[in-house]
Amino acid sequence: MQEKIKVLIQLQECDKKIETILEKKNQGPSRIKALQERLKEFEGNLQEKRDQLDRLKKERRDTEREVEDLEQRKKKSQAKLSSISSNKEYRAALKEIDELEREKGLMEEKALELMESIEELERACKEAESEYKKLKAETKKEEEAILREINALDKELAQLQEEHHRLSQEIDQGLLTHYNRLKGRKGGLAISPVIKGVCQTCHMGIPPQKFNELIRGDDLMSCPNCNRIIYWGDNEQFKDLVNPQPPEEC
Ligand SMILES: [Zn+2]
Residue among 96, 103, 102, 110 at smallest CA distance from 62? 110
Q: Are residues 96 and 189 in the same domain?
A: no
Which of 130, 148, 170 is where one domain is finished? 170
Q: Are residues 53 and 121 in the same domain?
A: yes
Q: What is the mean pLDDT of residues 230-243?
A: 88
pLDDT for position 1: 82
Which of 135, 152, 170 is where one domain is finished? 170
In a domain, 235, yes or no: yes
Instruction: Output the CA 193–ligand 1 centroid distance in Å.
Output: 9
Other CB atoms within 10 Å distance of the CB of residue 122? 14
In a domain, 181, yes or no: yes
Four-residue CA torsion sign, 194, 198, 203, 204: positive
pLDDT for position 187: 85
Q: What is the mean pLDDT of residues 143-172?
A: 96
Domain that holds residue 122: 26-170
**Phi, psi at 108, each rounded to 5°:** -65, -40
Contact 72, 186 (CB under 8 A): no
Q: Are residues 191 and 161 in the same domain?
A: no
Which of 128, 148, 170 is where one domain is finished? 170
Instruction: Output the CA 229–ligand 1 centroid distance in Å.
Output: 8
Q: Are residues 136 and 228 in the same domain?
A: no
The 10s digit of each residue's pLDDT in 32-77 is 999 999 999 999 999 999 999 999 999 999 999 999 999 999 999 9
Q: Are residues 108 and 182 in the same domain?
A: no
Instruction: Output the CA 203–ligand 1 centroid distance in Å.
Output: 6
Q: Are residues 37 and 142 in the same domain?
A: yes
Instruction: Output the CA 221–ligand 1 centroid distance in Å.
Output: 11
The 10s digit of each residue's pLDDT in 67-119 is 999 999 999 999 998 898 899 999 999 999 999 999 999 999 999 999 999 99
What CATH number does the domain containing 69 carry? 1.10.287.1490
Burial 36-54 (b: 16+ CB within 10 A, else e): eeebeebeeebeebeeebe
The 10s digit of each residue's pLDDT in 166-206 is 999 999 999 999 999 999 998 889 999 999 999 999 999 99
Arithmetic mean of pLDDT over the chain: 94
**Confidence band for 240, pLDDT divided at 50, 70 and 90:** confident
Instruction: Output the CA 170–ligand 1 centroid distance in Å.
Output: 25
The 10s digit of each residue's pLDDT in 208-218 is 999 999 999 99
- Position 250 pLDDT exceeds 60: no
First to last CA, the chain: 40
For residues 53 and 48, give the distance between their C-alpha atoms in angstroms, rounded to a whole number: 9
Instruction: Output the CA 191–ligand 1 centroid distance in Å.
Output: 9
Q: Are residues 38 and 150 in the same domain?
A: yes
In a domain, 10, yes or no: no
pLDDT for position 6: 94
Q: Indicate the number of domains in the chain.
A: 2
Q: What is the DSSP pairing of strand 221-222 with strand 229-232?
A: antiparallel
Instruction: Output the CA 165–ligand 1 centroid distance in Å.
Output: 27
Q: Are residues 198 and 161 in the same domain?
A: no
